[in-house]
Structure 1
Amino acid sequence: MNEVKPGNLGTYGLQGRVAVISGGSSGIGAACARRLAALGARVAIGYNSGRDRAEALAAELPGEGHLPVFLPMTDSAAIAAAATLVEATFGRADVLVNSAGTTRAVLHGDLDALDDETFDRILVTNVRGPFATIRAFAPLLKRGGDAVVVNISSLAALNGLGSSIAYCASKAAMDTMAMSLARVLGPEIRIIGISPAGVDTDFVPGRSRDAVLKQASLSALKTVCQADDVAMAVEAAVTHLRLTTGSVVLVDGGRRL
């Protein structure tokens, strides 16, 4: 039975802890790396094709010991190797942020345009990849007895609106998978989803700045969501949501309303 100790109510300090971030070389992942490093964590910056970006980010983060790590979502063997490297380098992992993902803009009504290769690539990257990452790091995360996994999901999982039907399906699968994993990985690991609506990054190939502004105009708060807005939510999930697991936190400006 885990008990709250006086003087440490509801908080989760990151001094001396290690955070692993898939998709950490750019966008939301890089913003998370900056936030968690600023709180004292050593960060393993997972990358696929962005090695140069990951190395540059590791050099600019506050603190010491940050490590670029090859962490491709489509290669489970490489993911397992990344977990081995993190264990050998740091001896621990306390936070895992599943930020890596992919999509392709396909009109929902154009079923033929959503070919099998695109559908499979999106599901493998956005669902199997995060699962394989959790599976690989779970023993290391459990060892500390108080770890956190944060999945970067999407409002598309709830409203079925997004860059493609496959993308919407992948994020819904991620959220349901998180509920299952939260049951079996607790009490040592809690799992929290963070679900933004449109974020002002280049994640969706071909999406214009006007499209991002239009999405923001349709939300209650009428505010463009930046990568750091999502990273702040990740920070809060890690450091303060001590009794939250298997749940999704919306960071959508009220777009769902």
Structure 2
Amino acid sequence: MDDVRSGGLGVLPLHGKVAVVTGGSSGIGAATVRRLAEHGASVVVGFHRGRDRAEELVEKLAGSGHSCVSLPIDDSARLAEVARLVERDYGRCDVLVNSAGWTQKVPHADLGALTDTLFDSLMRVNVRGPFAAVRAFAPLLRNTGDGIVVNVSSISGTTASGSNIAYCAAKAALDNLTQSLARVLAPEVRVVGVAPAAVDTGFVPGRDRQAVLDQASATPLRVVVDPDDVAVAIVGAVTYFRVSTGTTFVVDGGKHL
């Protein structure tokens, strides 16, 4: 059939490509920004409150054409505005990495502490935000004919064990969203997820490094997941796994086993 593409797509080179990374000023986002730049992409570093970190990061990146921009993931109007700015300044968007997220440690048994306000906030940032980012950038991604979205999830979405019940539910919803978006944006855009275990970033307030080490010691590989481990997986999904879509790659040292 004329509308069926041949396989053998090979590795996707990133030179001349433009990548937008939400939550790009720290943690997994910042590590991903560095890796994408090293592979030749021009990277737009989205930040919420970390302007200083984002500006410092951009100054040190390999390659050229990088920039940073205020990009609160729960502000749909701002997401749409930034998509227009990227179109004006770059003329394209080939890669969108949804790395922005938020959580708070709440014991699963303490149902009363998980208030409606907190629950709604976790869903707004971790589920609606990534969807709104994809919605804003979908036209640009489609125009390239070979775009990709990477949603940073968590194994909490499948293990139901994490910082709080709502966060686990949000990541499960994000995994489902990855499947739905992969179906409707194909064939021009691939959509994949990357699900790490606890990453040594300080992402969860109240979870110290010892807690991360204890979790790692209980995994088959006995390795602490570093932000760069996740970043490498993201870049691998972008550049190598070109016939994969609607799936979430696990980066957890075997914790799910």
Length-normalised TM-score, structure 1: 0.97
Q: Distance in 2 between matches of 1:150 and 1:166?
A: 22
Q: Distance in 1 between matches of 2:5 and 2:135?
A: 23
User: CA offsets per residue over residues 211-242 of structure 1, 9 Å max, x none?
Assistant: 00011011110000000000000011000001
Q: Which secondary structure state, in structure 2, belongs to the residue aligned with residue 19 of structure 1?
A: strand
What's 1:53 paired with? 53
What's 1:14 paired with? 14
Counterpart residue type for residue 6 of structure 2: E
Q: Distance in 2 between matches of 1:187 and 1:150?
A: 15
Give every structure 1 segment of 4 or more consecutive aligned residues whose post-TM-superposition deviation is greater than 4 Å.
Answer: none
What's 2:6 paired with? 3
Q: Distance in 2 between matches of 1:64 and 1:221?
A: 37
What's 2:106 paired with? 106
- What number of residue pairs does the alignment pair up? 254
Counterpart residue type for residue 239 of structure 1: T
Counterpart residue type for residue 37 of structure 2: A
User: Where do residues 95-174 of structure 1 align in structure 2 (5 Å cutoff)?
Assistant: 95-174=95-174
What's 1:92 paired with? 92
What's 1:211 paired with? 211
What's 1:231 paired with? 231
Q: Distance in 1 between matches of 2:64 and 2:240?
A: 24
Q: Distance in 2 between matches of 1:2 and 1:128?
A: 32
- Structure 2 portions without partners, runs of 5+: none
Residue 249 of structure 1 deviates from its aligned partner by 0.5
Length-normalised TM-score, structure 2: 0.97
- Report the more deviating stretch, 95-104 or 63-72: 63-72
User: CA offsets per residue over residues 65-104 of structure 1, 9 Å max, x none?
Assistant: 1010111111100110110111111000000000000000
- Structure 1 portions without partners, runs of 5+: none
- Report the more deviating stretch, 69-78 or 99-108: 69-78
Q: Distance in 1 between matches of 2:201 and 2:67?
A: 24
Q: Distance in 2 between matches of 1:189 and 1:122?
A: 27
Residue 10 of structure 1 deviates from its aligned partner by 2.3
Q: Distance in 1 between matches of 2:69 and 2:175?
A: 25
Residue 3 of structure 1 deviates from its aligned partner by 2.7
User: Where do residues 27-46 of structure 1 align in structure 2 (5 Å cutoff)?
Assistant: 27-46=27-46
Residue 4 of structure 1 deviates from its aligned partner by 4.2
What's 2:197 paired with? 197
Residue 143 of structure 1 deviates from its aligned partner by 0.2
Q: Which secondary structure state, in structure 2, belongs to the residue aligned with residue 74 of structure 1?
A: coil
User: CA offsets per residue over residues 189-208 of structure 1, 9 Å max, x none?
Assistant: 00110000010001101111
Residue 106 of structure 1 deviates from its aligned partner by 0.1
Counterpart residue type for residue 188 of structure 1: E
Percent identity between the aligned chains?
A: 56
What's 1:62 paired with? 62
Q: Which secondary structure state, in structure 2, belongs to the residue aligned with residue 29 of structure 1?
A: helix
